[in-house]
Structure 1
């Protein structure tokens, strides 16, 4: 038997389809799933891929800066970097200037992987049927949204 409370309609602000958080969550899961088969061919997870993207840009970076760029804590980043080192894509060393600072660097094998990954962004655009312009506009809106969330 339904109670009076159960008989009432769900207010619009509490409907799943009206939640900004759910739309972002669902889109995030969907895009990561699109990347999965492409990254499987490289033997990378999505998080390893975005880590490699940073290293392909920076060549060498502190663990702390890497975590900040990826918005990852050390508990997530440390095993991730260890796996990439074990795979031969990265190397790790202490800074000569400050022994407390740990640097990760791209290896030759890691640099070679970049060439294999070059097709991934185009494949994602093709699969999503977004134009480069639409993707750029969406990316900028999401960056702006993320920036606002970090201020909140």
Structure 2
């Protein structure tokens, strides 16, 4: 690997995974503050984003989309349901299949959350093109890492 000033690949500050970890923690802290007024945690916000984009996916499909296992997703959905934002419906055709739907309250929350992405973008100090380029790079890295397993 070139570009490492002292050649020591074992230094913590030279690890891409550590840079991603610290960035993720910084994002988590910022989202926690931004989402507090909406009554959402960051993982709940991700669920709501997915549902605002396409209401009514199965729990299985939602988990795939968010890359969350059922042990993580089920409690999230339970809390969102208790808050009156979503409802789970068992399929009449296949009792094993459960879909997730926004309630009126959940759909209405989208308008209150609409400025969150702009506030996050501003906090990053990046312009839109830089953020898009970073997101695309991270998607490529994720695809490559998934393929390497």
By the TM > 0.5 criterion, same fold? Answer: yes
Equivalenced residue count is 143
Aligned runs of 1:6-45 on 2, under 5 Å?
12-45=8-41
Instruction: State the distance in 2 between where 1:97 and 1:20 align.
Output: 47
Matched, 1:79 2:75: yes
Q: TM-score by structure 2 length? A: 0.92
| Match in the other structure for 1:52 | 48
CA shift, 1:31, in A, is: 1.2
1:111-122 map, 5 Å: 111-122=107-118
Within the candidate set 76, 83, 88, 2:84 is matched to: 88
Q: Deviations over 1:117-152 (max 9, x none)?
A: 000000011111111111111111111111111111
RMSD: 1.3
How far 1:95 moved relative to its partner?
A: 1.1
Q: Secondary structure at the match of 1:12?
A: coil
Query: 3-state SS of the aligned residue for 1:13?
Result: coil
Regions of 4+ moved over 6 Å: none
Structure ID, larger Rg: 1
Residue number in structure 1 paired with 2:3: none
Q: 1:142 is matched with which residue?
A: 138
